[in-house]
Structure 1
Amino acid sequence: MRASQQLSLVGFLLFFLLPAHLCEICEASNEQQASLAPLMATMIQSRQPSPEADSSILIALELARQYDQKAETAFLNVVKQNILQRETLTSGQLALIILALTAACQTSFVAEYKLVKSLEEKFQKEIDSIDTSGQPLTNYYELGLDVLALCLLNGTYSSSKIAKLFSAEQRMSYISGQFFVDTGALAVLALTCVNRQSPDKIISKNILWLVEKILKEKKQDGTIGDIYSTGEAMQALFVTPEYYKKEAWDCNQTLNTVLSQISQGTFSLPIAAAQVLPALEGKTYLDVTHVSCQSRPAGHLNISTPKPTEPTHQSKNISVTYSVVDSINNNINESTIISVPKDSVFLKVMEAAQAQNYSKFWFTIESSEWGAYVTSVHGIQASSKNRTYWELLNNHQPLSQGAGSFVVSDGDNLEVRLSQY
């Protein structure tokens, strides 16, 4: 059973010493709803099924004001089918499925298949792995999803264990010293749920630390982390207004910046559209248990999108520098100049380099909901066992987009680097 804890005097005072203000959830106005149509189109027309993308899309559709019964039914059926693979699902994938089914008013289905019990077992294996090796089986983003789903669905967990798991000392949001906003935001949502049920001063302290870290990642244009982590950061800040001063975050500036990026095709991947839409609707994953299960008006959303404009002139080639570096073993440090057509993506540069000199630049990729994922370069395989991965950089800065999405520019200094997390 989950430990029942009373709010201590210290924890009680902590809440009142923190600067508080009324929750300012900004959301797209009724007039701005039309600008969300491309996000809906991207999700509904998705043709790359995966447990993460399917579940995230279903959650977003259920939290959106625009309604497409046909699409929601189709994704609900796909998510239910994913349950057949429950033994091979990671804990985070199962948690996301549970959240999606809950948002779709399928709690009886969740109960029938004993999905919460299955998640409890998978989560315990994550904890056991941390206790023995210091690392979870998956990552702390998935652990955030686990705790959130268990909390919202009244699963069994230890509040004291959760407090320790997501503490600053655990450094749960870091890979090679870098704070990841999306991981921190999921932790905030999970801890907020736990703290609402059993207030705890340590959990409150952890939330405060995470919120401060998230706000430190705020850019001048209002984005938090990068544009793709901003939606989840908005969710975290929506539910924690008592942990920061009102002037620390201009919610409407962030909203307007994200809205402006939609028409530019920034959220062209279904998973990216699904993760940003709830915040634009003024919703969070904590709202999945509050979706009205009453019949909504039937109808089909008009998701027609304009056809891309044909170029009026032949694209010119650009030149970029492309490098492959093994920063762990220092076995590789190769570089070359590559010419590719203007508006090419990173992956096209890699392909051109491979064609130029296969022995130095050959690589392999796998498909994921975020697009192409580089699994090996020069015969060196990324390894979850050794916690290594091939990192993409441009001008020495890590990229927030994948190899198949990032559009390169003339003079860019592109790099794939074997790194460790």
Structure 2
Amino acid sequence: EWPETGRLALYLLGLRATCPPLEPGPQRSLVTWLKYYLEEDWAGSRQHGHPLTSYYQYSLGVLALCVHRKRVREEVIRRLLAAEHHGRFGHAGGSAVGKGPWGQMGWWHPRMGGVRQPGSHRVRADTEAVAALAFACLERERLVGARLAAELRVATHRARRRMDEAQGQDGFFGNIYSTPWAMQVFIATNACRKQLAYGRAMGALLENLDAFTTAATMAQALPVLHGRSYLDIASMHCQEEPDTLTPISPQLPPEMLGNMTVQLVVECPEPRCPQRRLYDWPVPVSAGASLLDVLRAAAVQGPHNFTFDTQDTPQGPFLSRVLGLEARQQKQSYWQLLTAPSTSLQMGVADYRPHDGETLILRLSEW
């Protein structure tokens, strides 16, 4: 059974940000569990050469413990430091958050429903960013000795320099969802005002805020929009925080009347699929339907025998199987989502809403 390192780390980061009541019992128990999961990951890295989950989860665990001002064994930190130094963040390990074979955020993004950006630097953008935040936190909170702190400082600046060099022409570090992580590194190291890359990334982020539709993705973008990073959570003075949170009623998207038709195409490369184009049919759906709604409609309309499977993740459903063909991490394959002729979607299957007459392509691809 996979350790829950990433899922619990994200929960504890969120819990700390809400200034929980002073009763330490339940929170202390969760921190203890996170320490246990991180030790399991560390033991796995000794045995297999990589964590049982992923370096993304491993980094999240170190970061969350640091934000809660809990010391982490030096061997655990040095394992992550060595991975950064030797460029091992490309290893996918297990799942990004929790269990399952659906990859890690440093390789492809389950919240994007199978989207992956090409290029080795772009692939591991958020893994490297979370590790850099963990390094910066350990140094800032003085949870390590002077010698290790100096090594962490060098690694943090090295990671930030790589992100700067790997920024895409679109302004993103990796893709839209890994960009807030990278921007937090610039904020945490007081480099956001000095770096043109940060300004370009902020411009790209502001132009694409409608892509952040889940709690998990919004939680990464909101600190950046306020010029903060997760490291600021560690120094919050909760007694001074005004109790201004009020419940709100969720606003439902406006109802769209009428119907539309979307062309759905499924492609699989040779030699695995000699036919290559496995499915190419129009799918009638209600106006305003999501891509996931299109897939569901295709599955029931027949007689073309369209099938698909998704896996639930904290960031939304992840497309894992189409027409019986599974995206397998071991074979470095994933279902890429595109709009014709060949534009990768920047949203997941549950978030993207096609327009009438659009051609959507599900392409089994390799990284």
Deviation of 1:282 after TM superposition, in Å, equals 1.8
Structure 2: segments with no counterpart, 5+ residues: 91-105, 109-117
Report the Cα offset of residue 415 of structure 1: 1.4
CA apart distance, 1:139:
1.9
What is the CA distance between 1:414 and its match in structure 2? 0.9
- Hey, what's the Cα distance between the residues in 2 that align with 1:307 and 1:90? 32
In 2, distance between residues paired with 1:358 and 1:365? 21
Match of 1:157 among 73, 87, 90: 73
Contact 1:181-1:233 within 8 A present in 2 as well: yes
More helix by share: 1
User: 1:109 and 1:303, CA in 2 relative to 1: closer, same or farther beyond 3 A?
Assistant: same
Which structure is richer in relative contact order (CA contacts within 8 A, separation 6 or more)?
A: 1
Q: Does structure 2 conserve the Cα–Cα contact (< 8 Å) formed by 1:119 and 1:146?
A: yes
User: Matched residues in 2 for 1:356 and 1:322: separation?
Assistant: 15
Name the counterpart of 2:362. Answer: 415
Are 2:293 and 1:348 aligned?
A: yes
**Cα RMSD between the aligned structures?**
3.7
> Could you give the per-residue CA deviations for residues 391-416 of structure 1, whole angstroms, max 9, x where no partner exists?
43444454432111122354435114
Q: 1:179 aligns with which of 120, 123, 148?
A: 123
Q: What is the rounded CA distance, in whole Å, between the counterparts of 2:168 and 2:208 in structure 1? A: 15
Letter in 2 for 1:325: C
In 1, Cα distance between the equivalents of 2:23 and 2:224? 27
247 and 271 in structure 1: CA distance in 2 versus 1, 3 angstrom threshold? closer
Deviates more, 1:387-396 or 1:284-293: 387-396
Supply the distance in 2 between the matched residues of 1:169 and 1:307 (Cα, whole angstroms): 44
Instruction: Give me the whole-angstrom Cα distance separating, in 1, the residues matched to 2:46 and 2:139.
Output: 23
SS at match of 2:56: helix
Q: What is the aligned partner in structure 1 of residue 217 from structure 2?
A: 272
Letter in 1 for 2:315: W
Aligned residues: 328
Q: Is the 8 A contact 2:13 2:64 kept in 1?
A: yes
| Structure 2 match to 1:246 | 194
TM-score by length of 2: 0.73
Written as runs of structure 1 = structure 2, the 5 A alignment for 1:328-407 is 329-330=272-273, 333=276, 334-341=278-285, 343-355=288-300, 361-382=306-327, 389-394=334-339, 395-407=341-353
Kept after mapping to 2: 8 A contact 1:340/1:348: no
**Structure 1 residues 164 and 245, CA, compared in 2 at 3 Å: closer, same or farther?**
farther
Asked if 1:282 corresponds to 2:223, the answer is: no
> Which stretch has the larger CA shift, 334-343 or 106-115?
106-115
**Distance in 1 of aligned mates of 2:89 and 2:20:** 35
Match of 1:392, SS state, is strand
Q: What fraction of aligned residue pairs are identical, expressed as a percent? A: 24
Q: Which residue of 1 aligns with 2:182?
A: 233
What letter is aligned with 2:44? S
Distance (Å, rounded) in 1 between the aligned partners of 2:265 and 2:169: 30
> Residues of 2 paired with 1:99 and 1:167: CA distance?
26
Please state how far the C-alpha of 1:271 moved relative to its aligned partner.
Answer: 2.1
1:235: how far off? 0.9
> What is the CA distance between 1:297 and its match in structure 2?
3.6
Q: Give the counterpart letter for 1:249 in structure 2.
A: A
Residue 46 of structure 2 aligns with which residue? 131
Distance of 1:332 and 1:123 partners within structure 2: 45
- For the residues of structure 1 that align with 2:245 and 2:138, how far apart are their CA atoms? 37
Partner SS, residue 365 of structure 1: strand
Question: What CA distance in whole angstroms lies between the structure 1 residues aligned with 2:22 and 2:107?
Answer: 34
User: Contact 2:283/2:298 (CA < 8 Å) preserved in 1?
Assistant: no
Matched AA of 1:154:
K
Once the 2 structures are TM-superposed, how far is the Cα of residue 358 of structure 1 from its aligned partner?
6.5
Q: What's 1:41 paired with?
A: none
For residue 350 of structure 1, report the CA deviation from its aligned partner. 2.4
Aligned to 1:368, the other structure's residue is in SS state coil
Structure 1 residue 190 and structure 2 residue 134: aligned?
yes
CA–CA distance in structure 1, aligned partners of residues 242 and 151 of structure 2: 45
Establish whether residue 99 from structure 1 lines up as the match of residue 17 from structure 2: no
